[in-house]
């Protein structure tokens, strides 16, 4: 602060050496008025856009676009087993691997079927409609892409036997789901399905 005061005093003295005192006072008043106007209208000036041919300058700060929040683990676990949460396929695979590491084979099977169906939706093999179950989506995808019908049917059977038939899940079920997921991926990669052939349950 002392350095600024010294600079200000020296600057005013230098100007005074070349201009009359009343001109110095007038310049200082104009500067003070300009600063006051800018300060009082700063909020409005931030929204001003100046345009020249081929150039645009804006003082308005853009608000970041908020991404929709993904459901957390507790919210996903609270859903019905055959629901398809709005999560990426990679997240389902990660959850399945975590459940498998914990020996929670039923949950691992569920997440692997969700991952398969989400990949089919992302690849536009089937359109996702809110309210459809993963087994309904899997059946529809099997009709849209016949090459996926067998592995999808087998995956749906494993899932239903465990979650609705109360069959105890094992590591073999998880391993078979992994293989079926790979089979579906190969079937989709080998034969893309046009939108006109997509089926609905």
Render pLDDT for 129-152 as a digit per residue (tens, 0 to 9): 777 888 888 888 878 888 899 999
pLDDT at 53 over 80: no
Give a yes or no: residue 104 inside a domain: yes
Q: Are residues 186 and 92 in the same domain?
A: yes
The rounded mean pLDDT for the chain is 78
pLDDT at residue 2 is higher than 70:
no
Query: Is 201:139 a contact under the CB 8 Å cutoff?
Result: yes
pLDDT of residue 138: 84
Q: How many CB atoms lie within 10 A of CB 94?
A: 14
Judge if 155 and 189 occupy the same domain.
Answer: yes
Give a yes or no: residue 6 inside a domain: yes
Same domain? For 12 and 108 the reply is no
The predicted-structure confidence for 169-181, as pLDDT tens digits, reads as follows 999 999 999 999 9
pLDDT exceeds cutoff 90 at 1:
no
| Single pTM value for the model | 0.59
Half-sphere exposure at residue 166, Cβ-oriented, CA atoms within 13 angstroms = 0
* Average pLDDT score over residue span 61-88: 71
* pLDDT tens per residue, range 81-103: 888 888 999 999 999 999 999 99
Q: What is the mean pLDDT of residues 27-48?
A: 69
Structural domain range at position 39: 2-58
Are 53 and 93 contained in the same domain?
A: no
Are 191 and 139 in a shared domain?
yes
**CATH code, domain carrying 193:** 1.20.120
Sequence-ordered list of residues with C-beta below 8 angstroms from that of 191, at least 6 positions apart, any chain: 145, 147
User: Quick check: 118 and 124 in contact, CB under 8 A?
Assistant: no
Q: How confident is the model at residue 198 (pLDDT cuts 50, 70, 90)?
A: very low
């Amino acid at each position: 602060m002392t350095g600024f005061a010294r600079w200000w005093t020296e600057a005013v003295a230098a100007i005074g050496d070349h201009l009359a005192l009343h001109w110095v006072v007038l310049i200082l008043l104009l500067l003070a008025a300009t600063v006051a106007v800018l300060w009082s209208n700063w909020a409005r000036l931030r929204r001003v856009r100046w345009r020249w041919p081929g150039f645009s300058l804006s003082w308005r700060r853009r608000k970041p676009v908020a991404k929709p929040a993904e459901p957390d683990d507790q919210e996903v676990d609270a859903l019905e087993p055959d629901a398809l949460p709005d999560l990426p396929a990679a997240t389902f695979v990660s959850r399945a691997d975590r459940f498998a590491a914990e020996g929670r084979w039923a949950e691992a099977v569920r997440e692997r079927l969700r991952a398969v169906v989400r990949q089919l939706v992302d690849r536009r093999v089937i359109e996702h409609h809110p309210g459809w179950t993963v087994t309904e989506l899997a059946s529809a995808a099997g009709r849209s892409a016949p090459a996926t019908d067998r592995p999808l049917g087998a995956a749906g059977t494993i899932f239903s036997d465990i979650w609705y038939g109360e069959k105890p899940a094992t590591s073999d079920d998880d391993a078979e789901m992994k293989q079926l997921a790979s089979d579906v991926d190969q079937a989709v990669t080998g034969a893309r399905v046009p939108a006109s052939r997509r089926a609905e349950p």
